[in-house]
């Protein structure tokens, strides 16, 4: 999620008005500012510019953490000062403006699916410098980073960023245990060993419309939530090569049917499209924090927010476990991560040192309680005893799932348009204006039309 931030982080990532501007700007952007060889290591005090997500003034979320941890734990020893540049209106647009104007940042946020979508196209057009030479020079160990996360930042076989944070998708299930215990339902919080059939059965038992209480309200955001649900049923949004839609395949239709049935058959939610937008299940006054909803699935951002000392959103006994598996044993997962890369300026070495620092194990752990949301996208982070003491969901997720599922990215870098096309066509299904088969076929056609374009 993002806490309530869970929603805000996600909704800005793919459906903003930036798609056209980004495409045009990238076409206009000239080649890389970096040469093929890594620079000599720099010595002495130096200041680097880092383009980061919004939240510099006023300091919030990831950016406030970068500022705090850098000043306390990096600059004193390295003599490298970091000047954070706020990404307004978006990371991708700001990067284009700076790059085209001849004043690129020394390091920049590399967004793929969360918090922006311009990283891969920007790397393709030379706005980031490949890290491979630097990795070899410094014998930098990449083994602890999730492979699926590194794959997100790899373009044409070259690595352009390291992940600052990551998760397995919105497959964390948040439970109102006041409601479940009152009904005599014992959710397997410690093991996450339950099925989607049990979720529906218990949600129906917990639904009391006369009291405004409902059991299960699935979030229908396309890029992450929908993919996670579809993968639970063996389906997907895109084929692995990113060249065609998978929405009209039978497993995907089964997943769509299950989501549709939450309102129209199981009646565990009053309406899938309640006022409040895509993330109404989190942000709506009748959503999960209200105490009137038993189950909601989201990212681990909610763990950081809703377990934080002194938080005021959750006033009931909170349970956190895994999203249930399919009766056949399948669990839906899709990696989500954002990263930091260097752009190839004369300060590349200093920028590279900071990228290594901000993506290391300690930051990956400490940022959870430091206000930055999800942990680092590293196995040693998710297994760290400090996170286990905060909440066992991290080690349970890592132990049960292992590696997050891969992101199937459009081959022609049209991710925001793919998501928009699928979202618009599936809205007819959620509002009961179309059947599952018709909506799936329509969405697949629209997505495939987008995938037929040449890369921009």
Token pair, residue 14, equals 């793919």
Distances (CA, A) of 133 to 315, 341, 383: 51, 13, 30
Residue 327 has a CB neighbour count (10 Å cut-off) of 10
* C-beta of residue 105 within 8 angstroms of C-beta of residue 85: yes
Predicted local confidence at residue 17, as pLDDT:
35
Predicted local confidence at residue 114, as pLDDT:
67
Predicted local confidence at residue 60, as pLDDT:
83
Predicted local confidence at residue 27, as pLDDT:
35
The C-alpha atoms of residue 113 and residue 391 are separated, in whole angstroms, by 26
Tens of pLDDT along 56-88?
888 888 899 999 999 999 999 999 999 999 998
The C-alpha atoms of residue 126 and residue 120 are separated, in whole angstroms, by 10
Residues of the chain short of pLDDT 50, as ranges, are: 1-40
Give me the domains of the chain, ranges plus CATH numbers.
Answer: 16-167+335-401 (3.40.190.10), 172-322 (3.40.190.10)
Counting runs of H as helices and runs of E as strands, what totals does the chain give? 21, 11
- Mean pLDDT, all residues of the chain: 91
Give per-residue burial for 296-306: e unless 16+ CB within 10 Å, then b: bbbbbbbbbbb
Residue 406 has a CB neighbour count (10 Å cut-off) of 15
Token pair, residue 263, equals 């309102």
The C-alpha atoms of residue 245 and residue 240 are separated, in whole angstroms, by 10
Strand partners, 110: 339
Q: What are the phi and psi torsion angles at 43 (to 5°)?
A: -125, 155
Token pair, residue 418, equals 């793919």
Strand partners, 245: 238
In 199-274, the DSSP E strands lie at 214-216
Tens of pLDDT along 163-213?
999 999 999 999 999 999 999 999 999 999 999 999 999 999 999 999 999
Predicted local confidence at residue 277, as pLDDT:
84
Distances (CA, A) of 406 to 5, 35, 150, 173, 234: 24, 31, 10, 21, 14
pTM above 0.85, yes or no: yes
The C-alpha atoms of residue 186 and residue 128 are separated, in whole angstroms, by 50
């Amino acid at each position: 999620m993002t806490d309530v931030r869970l929603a805000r982080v996600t909704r800005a990532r793919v459906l903003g008005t930036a798609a056209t501007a980004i495409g045009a700007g990238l076409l206009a952007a000239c080649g890389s500012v970096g040469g093929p060889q890594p620079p000599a290591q720099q010595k002495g005090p130096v200041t680097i510019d880092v383009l980061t997500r919004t939240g510099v003034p006023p300091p919030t979320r990831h950016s406030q953490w970068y500022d705090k941890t850098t000043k306390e734990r990096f600059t004193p020893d390295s003599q490298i000062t970091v000047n954070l540049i706020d990404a307004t209106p978006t990371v991708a647009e700001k990067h284009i403006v700076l790059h085209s104007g001849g004043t690129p940042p020394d390091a920049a946020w590399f967004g793929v699916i969360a918090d922006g979508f311009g990283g891969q196209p920007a790397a393709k057009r030379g706005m980031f410098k490949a890290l491979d030479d630097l990795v070899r020079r410094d014998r930098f160990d990449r083994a602890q980073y999730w492979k699926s996360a590194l794959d997100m930042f790899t373009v044409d076989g070259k690595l352009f960023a390291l992940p600052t944070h990551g998760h397995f998708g919105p497959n964390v299930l948040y439970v109102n245990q006041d409601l479940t215990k009152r009904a005599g339902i014992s959710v397997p919080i410690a093991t996450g060993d339950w099925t989607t059939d049990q979720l529906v059965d218990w949600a129906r038992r917990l639904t009391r419309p006369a009291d405004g209480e409902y059991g299960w309200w699935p979030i229908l955001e396309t890029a992450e939530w929908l993919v996670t649900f579809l993968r639970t049923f063996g389906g997907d949004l895109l084929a692995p090569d990113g060249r065609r839609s998978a929405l009209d395949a039978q497993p995907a239709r089964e997943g769509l049917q299950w989501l549709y049935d939450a309102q129209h058959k199981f009646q565990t939610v009053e309406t899938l499209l309640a006022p409040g937008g895509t993330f109404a299940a989190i942000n709506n006054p009748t959503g999960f924090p209200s105490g009137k909803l038993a189950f909601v699935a989201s990212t681990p951002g909610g763990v950081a927010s809703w377990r934080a000392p002194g938080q005021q959103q959750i006033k009931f006994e909170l349970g956190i476990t895994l999203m249930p598996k399919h009766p056949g044993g399948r669990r839906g997962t899709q990696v989500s991560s954002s990263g930091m890369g260097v752009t190839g300026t004369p300060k590349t070495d200093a920028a590279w040192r900071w990228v290594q620092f901000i993506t290391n194990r300690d930051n990956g752990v400490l940022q959870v309680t430091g206000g930055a949301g999800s942990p680092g996208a590293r196995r040693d982070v998710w297994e760290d005893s400090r996170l286990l003491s905060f909440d066992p969901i991290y080690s349970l997720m890592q132990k049960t799932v292992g590696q997050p599922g891969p992101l199937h990215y459009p081959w022609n870098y049209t991710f925001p348009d793919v998501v928009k096309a699928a979202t618009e066509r599936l809205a007819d299904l959620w509002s009961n204006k179309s059947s599952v088969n018709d909506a799936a076929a329509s969405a697949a056609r629209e997505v495939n039309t987008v995938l037929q374009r040449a890369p921009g």
